[in-house]
């Protein structure tokens, strides 16, 4: 069985590593000459909208999935005509546009911060009366890792912010004074079976995820799982989905979802009975889903721009290193460290050392 993946980055690499034990083989399609999934997958180099390549991929792969959501919708539609593509194209379309995404959340009763669509500086100025200060303006499409957004604190910020985003269609959202950011990693199978991992608490810096801590038995688990289940049912979803949320008081407000395996689910590689990568593959292949039970207490620390000496990481008992085979560059995610412990206290003690190694 051959799985095709659009994108050949670290998520594709980790999908492949999790998939070989299931007897799978992998092809990744990626325009970059040197992708980090290449040592563990066949690399088809070319553009995502190269129809000849897409046709070849459809012929060689039994199923196609993707590791990032900015694949052109028409490429996915073209593929989906020829081969099974999961998650379904409508999930990709919803995730690619922040206005569609937030509108969908609202329609499903999934709470969100207040938001207004804006297509000009004038509309942005008018929208501020509705959403209030401070606020965040975001491009509708192509944003990731904090890119494509600007914070608005006072009227003077509006014109430079609008210019910095390039004057493209955007949405402006109320800035939520959140107590914490969390995410729920959910999985839905072809038979509509849904399982969720324990809620994960996330910390970002400069728009990039730095730390995720799994919180088994979190009081907000039920609400987050219910949001994810509504969304996946509506989209007739198959695969892993990550829903990012802000918690303010006892409310969860949906920020965005990713129709794929997610950085905040990497701790499951060492801290759950079945990792998110294997469960994504099980789901898209129509196999029974694996247990999402946490094993002990776990956290993940991203390595951004720097790789500590392997020995300094591995000397920490129960630390697991996951490198992506990438050369370090400032701001580039080059790996992560998972830390697993028997108690929350032991986890926190170990975490201090691991955060220091990651330069946090």
**Is residue 175 annotated as involved in ligand binding?**
yes
Regarding 295 and contact with its own copies (CB under 8 A), the answer is yes
SS3 127: helix
Q: Which is nearer to its own copies, 120 or 310 (CB)?
A: 310
Number of neighbouring beta carbons within 10 Å of residue 327: 9
Site for its own copies in 21-40 (CB under 8 A): 21-23, 25-26, 39-40
Q: Of residues 134, 216, 296, 308, which one binds its own copies by CB under 8 A?
A: 296
Dihedral sign, Cα of residue 28, residue 34, residue 37, residue 39: positive
**Is residue 143 annotated as involved in ligand binding?**
yes
Find out whether 48 and 70 touch, Cβ atoms under 8 Å.
Answer: no
Q: CA distances (Å), 206 to each of 56, 95, 330, in order?
A: 39, 22, 12
Tell me, by CB under 8 A, how many residues bind its own copies. 36
For the chain, the straight-line distance linking the first and the last C-alpha, in angstroms and rounded, comes to 41
**Is residue 237 annotated as involved in ligand binding?**
no
Q: Of residues 44, 335, 339, 358, which one binds its own copies by CB under 8 A?
A: 335
Residue whose C-alpha is closest to residue 3's, from 239, 186, 233, 191: 239
Residue whose C-alpha is closest to residue 13's, from 33, 45, 34, 38: 38
Regarding 321 and contact with its own copies (CB under 8 A), the answer is yes
Q: How far is the CB of 203 from its own copies (least distance, A)?
A: 23
Regarding 349 and contact with its own copies (CB under 8 A), the answer is no
Regarding 17 and contact with its own copies (CB under 8 A), the answer is yes
Find out whether 214 and 271 touch, Cβ atoms under 8 Å.
Answer: yes
**Is residue 149 annotated as involved in ligand binding?**
yes
Residue whose C-alpha is closest to residue 301's, from 203, 215, 218, 199: 203
Regarding 280 and contact with its own copies (CB under 8 A), the answer is no
Site for its own copies in 183-202 (CB under 8 A): none
Find out whether 7 and 31 touch, Cβ atoms under 8 Å.
Answer: no
Residues in touch with its own copies (CB under 8 A) = 13, 17, 20-23, 25-26, 39-41, 273-274, 282, 285-288, 290-291, 295-296, 307, 310-311, 314-315, 317-318, 320-323, 325, 335, 340
Which parts are annotated binding residues for ATP?
Answer: 98, 138, 143-149, 173-176, 181, 204, 255-256
Which parts are annotated binding residues?
Answer: 98, 138, 143-149, 173-176, 181, 204, 255-256
């Amino acid at each position: 069985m051959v799985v095709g993946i659009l994108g050949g980055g670290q998520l594709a690499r980790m999908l492949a590593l999790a998939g070989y034990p299931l007897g799978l083989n992998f092809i990744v399609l990626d325009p970059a000459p040197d992708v980090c999934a290449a040592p563990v997958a066949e690399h088809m180099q070319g553009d995502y909208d190269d129809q000849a390549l897409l046709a070849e991929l459809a012929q060689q792969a039994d199923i196609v999935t993707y590791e990032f959501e900015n694949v052109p919708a028409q490429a996915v539609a073209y593929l989906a005509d020829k081969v099974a593509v999961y998650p379904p194209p409508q999930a990709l379309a919803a995730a690619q546009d922040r206005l569609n995404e937030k509108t969908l959340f609202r329609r499903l009763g999934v709470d969100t911060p207040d938001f207004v669509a804006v297509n000009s500086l004038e509309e942005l100025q008018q929208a501020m009366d509705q959403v209030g200060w401070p606020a965040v303006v975001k491009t509708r499409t192509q944003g990731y890792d904090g890119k494509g957004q600007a914070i608005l604190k006072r009227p003077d910020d509006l014109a430079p912010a609008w210019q910095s985003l390039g004057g493209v269609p955007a949405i402006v959202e109320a800035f939520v004074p959140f107590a914490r950011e969390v995410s729920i990693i959910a999985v839905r199978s072809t038979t509509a079976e849904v399982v969720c991992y324990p809620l994960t608490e996330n910390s970002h810096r400069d728009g990039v995820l730095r730390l995720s801590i799994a919180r088994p038995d979190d009081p907000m688990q039920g609400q987050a799982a219910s949001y994810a289940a509504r969304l996946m049912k509506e989209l007739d979803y198959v695969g892993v989905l990550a829903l990012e949320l802000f918690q303010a008081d006892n409310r969860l407000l949906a920020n965005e979802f990713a129709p794929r395996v997610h950085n905040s689910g990497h701790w499951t590689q060492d801290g759950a009975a079945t990792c998110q990568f294997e469960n994504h593959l099980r789901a898209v292949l129509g196999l029974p889903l694996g247990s999402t039970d946490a094993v002990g207490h776990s956290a993940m620390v991203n390595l951004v721009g720097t790789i500590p000496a392997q020995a300094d990481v591995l000397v920490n008992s129960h630390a697991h290193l996951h490198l992506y085979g990438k050369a370090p560059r400032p701001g580039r995610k080059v790996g992560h460290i998972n830390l697993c412990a028997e108690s929350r206290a032991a986890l926190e003690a170990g975490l201090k050392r691991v955060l220091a190694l990651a330069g946090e």
